[in-house]
């Protein structure tokens, strides 16, 4: 039955491609315009968004000069006149970058993205409203997004590079968070150790208080060691068995965090109440005065200046620091990918048996992948705990591991830039997008009211309550239509479409060829 479906799909694709180009062009235009007009019944903004998406899809199909340039000028000009102008500016910048030579575009696009992220606090509240998804996220939500992007990049080392299915990555996130909480809070009040902490009131407060910057490194190292300890007995397994064992370790960490208030008579994690407050990051008065206030002495009490018409806040400083950590994570991930051990990871992912035959030490190489991914997960967890000034067991459910894995799959396993895109999109949905979607659906689609009982008020559709189902649907659609992800690496896409070693995938069957 599956072979017939694959043959039918290929047959329909072959018939479509056999049509004259003029017929395909006309049919596509009619379908796109008709779909956009159909969306008019829901919202005019949806119609504009669909027409813009269709116009952008045609840019790569028309000759560069003069048609592509004319179409780009027309698109940007329409929004410059009719609004929103922020969208016109954004489109103009993107179009200008796409005209750069390919050898320059490789570094211009990441540099432009980084510049946009750095200056986001200055223009984020002036951006246009996205149809259905609502306004752009605020800076505080941006910190949450950047932290999860860091974890997705770290998981990409394990899953995307080495091909190890890890369903317990939340364990590293939790380990990093609790490392920061233990050594920068009142948790161990029977001790009084101070080293570089800022903002303590009173200065001689009880507990262990170490500088957050040292704790980020300590959390990463401690989590990497934990990854090695977990990985040594588990990485001898493959496939589904490895996934099940890593899932078990993730659940063990959650149970330990929830019940660690009586760990052999010792209060290790403070149980369900969590550990709060956690010391704020900061550089101290000396470094702050030496840099003219550029490095804040305390993130929670800083930022009284106004720059470019924007009043700086502590959320801005947390956001910029998170960006620095993300840049370091991306840089290390790319350098690891292109290194000798990175090529060994890719060889293990493609064919573990052949890699072993070529002399690659499987256990040691896999353990390095596990420890490297764990390191960045621990740093992200420690920084997010400092940002929230608290850590709770409820932050480390199994769903977080699946959520981060979905980011990697959606963006494209093995490609750092694809993971950045997929992680940013899903993190935005989780923090604000789904709630905005629910509000939009309840205000534009009134089918729910017909299911209410007499005399009752329709509750409306609670979209965040079905978030897991929505993420699952996204992954199912991606696996069916684009299994390599939105922006995959070339090698990974070739593996999925051509198969590896002696097991080619059905997608390798060309239209009109092979056994139906």
User: How do residues 175-234 score in pLDDT, each as one tens digit?
Assistant: 999 999 999 988 888 888 888 888 777 778 888 889 999 999 999 999 999 888 888 888
The residues with which 207 forms a beta bridge, in sequence order, are 192
Q: Is residue 291 part of a domain?
A: yes
| All residues at 6 or more sequence positions from 145 whose CB lies less than 8 Å from its CB, including other chains | 137, 423, 424, 427, 428, 431
* Distance in angstroms (rounded) separating the CA atoms of residues 482 and 473: 13
Q: Decide if pLDDT at 249 tops 60.
A: yes
Higher per-residue pLDDT: 467 or 7: 467
Whether 1 has a pLDDT exceeding 70, the answer reads: no
Looking at the structure, do residues 154 and 263 belong to the same domain, yes or no?
A: yes
- The whole-number pLDDT of residue 382 equals 94
Evaluate whether residue 55 is within a structural domain: yes
Specify the pLDDT at position 511.
40
Q: Which of 455, 447, 396, 390 is nearest to 257 (CA)?
A: 396
In this predicted structure, the answer to whether residue 351 has a pLDDT above a threshold of 70 is: yes
Which among 364, 351, 373, 365 is positioned nearest to 491, based on CA atoms?
351
**Residue 1, in any domain of the structure:** no
Give the model's confidence band at 412: pLDDT under 50 very low, under 70 low, under 90 confident, else very high.
confident
Cβ atoms within 10 Å, residue 367: 19
For residues 105 and 172, state if they share a domain.
no
Is residue 219 domain-shared with residue 303, that is, in the same domain? yes
- Same domain for 376 and 264, yes or no, is yes
Query: How much is the pLDDT for 509?
Result: 43
Claim to verify: residue 87 and residue 187 sit in the same structural domain: no
Q: b/e string for 136-152 if b means 16 or more Cβ within 10 A? A: bbbbbbbbbbbbbbbbb
Q: Which of 56-60, 106-110, 508-512 has the highest mean pLDDT?
A: 106-110
Range of the domain at 494: 139-498
At 510 the pLDDT is: 42
Confidence bin at 119 (pLDDT 50/70/90): very high
Q: Select from 336, 328, 329 the least CA-distant residue to 368.
A: 336
pLDDT at 216: 94
Which of 93, 109, 125 is the C-terminal boundary of a domain? 109
- Whether residue 392 lies inside any domain: the answer is yes
Q: Is 59 exposed, middle or buried (0-12, 13-18, 19+ CB in 10 A)?
A: middle
Q: Is the pLDDT of residue 401 over 50?
A: yes
Do the Cβ atoms of 382 and 176 come closer than 8 Å? yes
Q: pLDDT value at position 505?
A: 46
Residues 104 and 148 in one domain: no
d(CA 126, CA 56): 23
Rounded to an integer, what distance in angstroms lies between the CA atom of residue 493 and that of residue 490?
Answer: 5
How many other C-beta atoms can be found within 10 angstroms of the C-beta atom of residue 328? 13
Residue of 510 and 382 predicted with greater confidence: 382
Of 156, 151, 158, 167, the C-alpha closest to 408 is 156
Is there a single domain that holds both residue 160 and residue 206? yes
Quick check: 353 pLDDT over 90? no
> 389: domain CATH number?
1.10.3470
276: how many CB neighbours lie within 10 A of its CB? 16
Q: Are residues 33 and 94 in the same domain?
A: yes
Is residue 307 helix, strand or coil? Answer: strand
Residues 99 and 154 in one domain: no
Residue 506 forms part of a structural domain: no
What's the mean per-residue pLDDT of the chain? 83
Which residues have CB under 8 Å from 354's CB, separation 6+?
347, 501
132 belongs to a structural domain = no
Q: Is the pLDDT of residue 335 over 50?
A: yes
The answer to whether residues 481 and 434 belong to one domain is: yes
Residues 6 or more apart whose Cβ sits within 8 Å of residue 319: 120, 121, 139, 140, 142, 143, 146
Same domain, 175 and 103: no
Residue 423: its pLDDT value, please? Answer: 93
Residue 323 lies inside a defined structural domain of this protein: yes
- The answer to whether residue 129 sits within a structural domain is no
Percent pLDDT > 70 in the chain is 90
Chosen domain end from 63, 87, 109: 109
Residues 79, 155, single domain; the answer is no
Block residue for tokens 């040594």: 232
Residue 192 has φ and ψ, to the nearest 5°, of: -140, 90
Looking at per-residue pLDDT, the higher value among 41 and 270 belongs to 270
Task: Please say whether the dihedral angle defined by the alpha carbons of residues 143, 145, 148 and 153, taken in this order, is positive or negative.
Answer: negative
The answer to whether the CB of 337 falls within 8 A of the CB of 158 is no
Domain count, the chain: 2
Reported pTM: 0.87
User: 84-88, 122-126, 150-154 — which one is most confidently predicted on average?
Assistant: 150-154
């Amino acid at each position: 039955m599956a072979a017939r479906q694959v043959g039918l799909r290929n047959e329909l694709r072959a018939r479509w491609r056999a049509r004259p180009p003029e017929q395909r062009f006309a049919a596509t235009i009619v379908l796109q315009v008709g779909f956009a007009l159909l969306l008019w019944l829901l919202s005019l903004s949806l119609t504009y968004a669909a027409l813009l998406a269709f116009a952008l899809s045609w840019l790569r199909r028309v000759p560069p000069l003069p048609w592509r340039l004319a179409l780009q000028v027309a698109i940007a000009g329409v929004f410059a006149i009719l609004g929103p102008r922020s969208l016109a500016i954004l489109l103009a910048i993107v179009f200008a970058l796409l005209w750069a030579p390919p050898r320059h575009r490789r570094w211009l696009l990441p540099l432009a993205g980084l510049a946009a992220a750095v200056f986001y606090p200055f223009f984020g509240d002036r951006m246009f409203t996205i149809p259905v998804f609502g306004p752009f996220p605020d800076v505080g939500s941006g910190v949450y997004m950047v932290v999860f992007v860091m974890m997705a990049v770290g998981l990409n080392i394990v899953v995307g590079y080495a091909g190890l299915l890890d369903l317990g990555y939340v364990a590293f996130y939790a380990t990093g968070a609790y490392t920061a909480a233990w050594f920068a809070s009142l948790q161990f009040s029977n001790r009084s150790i101070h080293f570089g902490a800022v903002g303590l009131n009173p200065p001689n407060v009880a507990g262990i208080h170490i500088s957050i910057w040292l704790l980020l490194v300590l959390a990463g190292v401690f989590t990497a060691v934990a990854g090695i300890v977990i990985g040594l007995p588990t990485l001898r397994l493959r496939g589904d068995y490895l996934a099940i064992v890593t899932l078990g370790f993730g659940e063990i960490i959650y149970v330990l965090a929830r019940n660690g208030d009586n760990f052999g008579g010792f209060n290790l994690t403070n149980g369900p109440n969590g550990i709060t407050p956690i010391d704020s990051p900061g550089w101290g008065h000396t470094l702050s005065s030496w840099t003219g206030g550029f490095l804040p002495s305390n993130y929670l009490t800083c930022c009284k200046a106004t720059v470019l018409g924007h009043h700086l806040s502590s959320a801005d400083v947390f956001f910029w620091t998170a960006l620095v950590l993300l840049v370091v994570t991306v840089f290390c991930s790319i350098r690891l990918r292109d290194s000798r051990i990175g090529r060994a990871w890719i060889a293990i992912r493609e064919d573990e048996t052949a890699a072993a035959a070529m002399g690659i030490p499987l256990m040691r190489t896999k353990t390095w992948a596990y420890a490297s991914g764990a390191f960045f997960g621990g740093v992200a967890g420690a920084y997010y705990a400092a940002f929230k000034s608290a850590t709770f067991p409820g932050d480390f459910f199994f769903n977080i591991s699946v959520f981060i894995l979905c980011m990697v799959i959606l963006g494209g396993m093995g490609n750092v830039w694809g993971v950045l895109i997929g992680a940013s999109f899903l993190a935005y949905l989780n923090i604000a997008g789904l709630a905005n979607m629910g509000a939009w659906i309840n205000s534009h689609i009134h089918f729910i009211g017909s299911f209410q009982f007499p005399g009752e008020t329709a509750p409306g559709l609670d979209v965040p309550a079905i978030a897991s189902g929505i993420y699952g649907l996204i992954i199912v659609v991606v696996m069916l239509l684009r299994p390599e992800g939105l922006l995959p690496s070339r090698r990974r896409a070739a593996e999925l479409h051509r198969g590896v070693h002696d097991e080619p995938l059905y997608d390798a069957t060309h239209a009109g060829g092979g056994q139906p």
